[in-house]
Amino acid sequence: MVTTIIITVLTFLLLIISGVSKAVQDKVNFHFSESIFAKLNGYFWNPVYSSLNKWKDGIKKRGEKFFGSSTFFVGTTDAWHLFQTVRDVAFALAFFLLGGYSTWYIAIGGYVFSRIIFQIFFKNVFTKK
């Protein structure tokens, strides 16, 4: 009984973290100049400049700033991607808790699968010219 209550509370907390992370993403992306984030380090929080953090000297043609900076470690380069990572991980962990510990591979597998599908569409469909 106590375990069920703890799991339920943790699940709701993770879903709240996921929702707050999405709100931060949208605020940074669409209303940065009128947000509390405008007072923070512009090169991490400001979407106008933050994409430069992925590349050597801020220039895409020079390649990644560090291994994975434009793919699986992109969450370390700017606020939008950091909160995307937090959102996705919190959401996956919430489903892991809801499904029980015996289904950990479903939660992790589902998360990995969704990221792979995202990368395929993002790189090959949405960025085609």
pTM over 0.85? The answer is no
Residue type present at position 1: M
Q: What is the DSSP string of 27-82?
A: HHHHSGGGSGGGGS-HHHH-HHHHGGGGBGGG-GGG-BSSTTTTTTTGGGT-HHHH
Q: Please say whether the beta carbons of 128 and 41 come within 8 A.
A: no
Per residue in 68-122, pLDDT (tens digit) is: 898 889 989 999 999 999 998 888 888 778 776 566 666 677 777 777 777 777 6
Per residue in 3-52, pLDDT (tens digit) is: 778 888 888 888 889 888 988 898 888 888 888 888 886 789 988 888 88
Would you place residue 56 in the very low, low, confident or very high pLDDT band (cuts 50, 70, 90)?
A: very high
Q: How many Å is the Cα radius of gyration of the chain?
A: 17
What is residue 55's DSSP assignment? B
Q: Please say whether the beta carbons of 108 and 35 come within 8 A.
A: no
pLDDT for 1: 67
pLDDT for 102: 61
